[in-house]
Structure 1
């Protein structure tokens, strides 16, 4: 016996999805993600642009662009760039950064799982630690492929499950609300086999490489923890959920500080190495 999809159940599902996306938008608008991106990982955007091979005259879409750490380098290559994100609150900082860099690009509010662009529009479609946070991975991957031209390049850069940020999400999981049905954890985009399955036989020239970015801003686990508590939407959201339970707050405080120490923060200047997976492919 199969379930029958009724108009009412379809409407309920659509309303649930709108509520989930509103929650995601509010999460990323909280804190100060543009400053975090500038302080810690701005260089990763240019690395992705290099890997994808963005050229002058290319039409490029940056999905879940945030404040544009991939979109701006792509525009500086001479590409025509659209930076899209579910949280347009991040665009103000992106526009300032683009102006300072001398880059011109378009900023467009868009859901990575329902991109408002026609099929086969872009020469390159990329996402730097962005699309990995769309809750429904297959839907987001389908959109990356759909809007790329045949022969167009697709590139993603995502935190791995085993790396520091992947481990941070695992650390926060027991304190967080259960995920909605059908949603998947962001760090799975840092697993090569998972991304291969998402893109499937619609792409060729698939390449995946693990790299690390050196983070030297923090000396102690407590500094690492407190920075994420004040800047990073997902961490802020977890702390907001447990704010009325001091015991849980202390437990999460201790766990995140311990993670920082395990990742190498010992009071010296040696810093941390955050692992990510860089994937490139070409649409068939």
Structure 2
């Protein structure tokens, strides 16, 4: 993957500008699930495995010092910090306050200026046409309903501005693992999304969601290598740090947990490359330009 050439910017790190968005009583079941899961797990231990994806996303959308950038579902701040290193004016937004704290710490370490806000991908706390570039590295995919998340990406981006995001492809490992979980557990034990989040990695679905409001839509498929010494090693890290799997394993009996582990190890095996000591995770990067009015 090509890596961006960063530029240093002054540090600011304020999260107070304009306050955080109000979520509260209208929050959906999927939003409540997302808040709980991201608070339960230790995503900050997983996120470093995906930092190359953030660099790739910023590079493909050609972020530079003239841009005002929004990072949706910013997590630990990879995309926001990468964009800020290029001199862009950057805001990161996430539904989970704990993620924002990790992101702020990482930005301080990198010595870059980023404004942090709490907010939901389906109700972004920003004005229409506020940003020249709107990005998301796996974060927007949990916004439900997805059509609303897509509309929000378009709404906050100026005409002629760029949208870019990543998602795991539907045939990659994490969707396969989700399929195993869905086969073993009852619907009541699973997160209640209106559509599978991994459909954001399907080009036809994405074209439909973004519709005529964008031009020059393009897709690129890449892989990221998750370091692991075996399928068991990968599963051990996932079970210990993924909020989703922590929640699932807490709710299943011993027999189901054993069956789930065995089936997941079988699922992981084909994706493990013993010559690289890594699990291959395929993702799709989407870029598009927001259409000018009247086009």
Q: Provide the C-alpha distance between the structure 2 equivalents of 1:180 and 1:229, rounded to a whole number of angstroms.
A: 17
Aligned residues: 266
Deviating above 3 A after TM superposition, structure 1's stretches of 4 or more consecutive aligned residues are: 14-20, 179-182
Q: 2:58 aligns with which of 46, 49, 58?
A: 49
Deviation (angstroms), 1:271: 2.1
Q: 2:287 aligns with which of 277, 280, 283?
A: 280
Could you give the per-residue CA deviations for residues 195-233 of structure 1, whole angstroms, max 9, x where no partner exists? Answer: 110000000010011111122x21211111111111112
Deviation (angstroms), 1:17: 3.8
Could you give the per-residue CA deviations for residues 211-270 of structure 1, whole angstroms, max 9, x where no partner exists? Answer: 11122x21211111111111112222221221xx1110001111221222121255x544
Unaligned runs of 5+ in 1: 1-13
Deviation (angstroms), 1:91: 1.6
* Contact 1:159-1:275 within 8 A present in 2 as well: yes
Q: Provide the C-alpha distance between the structure 2 equivalents of 1:74 and 1:23, rounded to a whole number of angstroms.
A: 29
Matched, 1:183 2:191: no
Could you give the per-residue CA deviations for residues 107-156 of structure 1, whole angstroms, max 9, x where no partner exists? Answer: 10000001111111000001001111223110100000000001110001
Q: 1:201 aligns with which of 197, 208, 212?
A: 212
* Contact 2:169-2:202 within 8 A present in 1 as well: yes
Q: TM-score, normalised by structure 2?
A: 0.85
Q: Provide the C-alpha distance between the structure 1 equivalents of 2:221 and 2:38, rounded to a whole number of angstroms.
A: 26
Range with bigger deviation, 223-232 or 169-178: 169-178
Unaligned runs of 5+ in 2: 1-23
Deviation (angstroms), 1:165: 1.8
SS of the residue 2:38 aligns to: helix
Distance 1:157 1:181, change over 3 A: closer
Match of 2:260 in 1: 252
* Contact 2:165-2:286 within 8 A present in 1 as well: yes
Distance 1:154 1:246, change over 3 A: same
Matched, 1:145 2:154: yes
Q: Provide the C-alpha distance between the structure 2 equivalents of 1:70 and 1:94, rounded to a whole number of angstroms.
A: 10
* Contact 1:221-1:256 within 8 A present in 2 as well: no
**RMSD (Å), alpha carbons:** 1.8
Q: TM-score, normalised by structure 1?
A: 0.88
